[in-house]
Amino acid sequence: MNVKGIVRRIDELGRVVVPKEIRKSLHIKNGENLEIFVNNDEIILKKYSEIGNIKEISDNISETINTYLKANVLISDTDKYISIAGSLKNKYLNKEISENVLKCINERKIKTLNSLKITKEEMENQNIILCPIISNGDSLGSIIVISKKEIDKNQIEIVNLLSKVLAKHIEP
């Protein structure tokens, strides 16, 4: 959505309201953080992604899981896939997550599934582990493992452990 021409007044406390239509289209919920940038005479607001700010660590973790489990690994924030290791990298990197994935993230439980709608358009029908990334009580994203092989308890524990490692890098 590229909206121009919306005028908002700054109140006596320096606050400005971001219009509901913009918040809805960008999936900005109450209480979420925005980054503020200044570019010459422009103020730019950008949705803040804690996981996006630790991309190098996310890349290392996705590669580690991929090497060990020989499976595709997708790491997302609550909007899109930010780090992927395996053959699905070109297919899903920077694509928006599905409502199904967001629902699983918000349920805050590790899930093992036989199929999952990864994006609005794409479904994966393999063995899947979805582990939410939770930091300071907030659900910030997920690690999704997509494997042709059966999933066992040890693999689930590895993914859970590495989601906690990612969460620790986000905590202040």
pLDDT per position as a tens digit, 92-129 = 999 999 999 999 999 999 999 999 999 999 999 999 99
For position 171, what pLDDT does the model report? Answer: 66
Domain count, the chain: 2
Report the predicted TM-score, pTM, of the whole model to 2 decimal places: 0.77
**Which residues of 3-51 form beta strands (DSSP E)?**
34-39, 42-47
Boundary of a domain, candidates 13, 29, 48: 48
What is the C-alpha separation between 161 and 8, in angstroms, rounded? 45
Helix, strand, or coil (residue 127): strand
pLDDT tens track for 41-66 = 888 887 777 766 678 888 999 999 99
H-helix segments, 3-152: 20-25, 55-69, 89-92, 99-107
- DSSP, res 171: -
Q: Are residues 79 and 112 in the same domain?
A: yes
What is the C-alpha separation between 55 and 59, in angstroms, rounded? 6
Q: Are residues 62 and 104 in the same domain?
A: yes
Q: Are residues 131 and 63 in the same domain?
A: yes
Q: Domain limits at 10?
A: 1-48
- DSSP, res 18: P
Q: Are residues 20 and 42 in the same domain?
A: yes
Query: 82, exposed or middle or buried, with CB in 10 Å at 0-12, 13-18, 19+?
Result: buried
Beta-bridge partner residues of 130: 111, 144
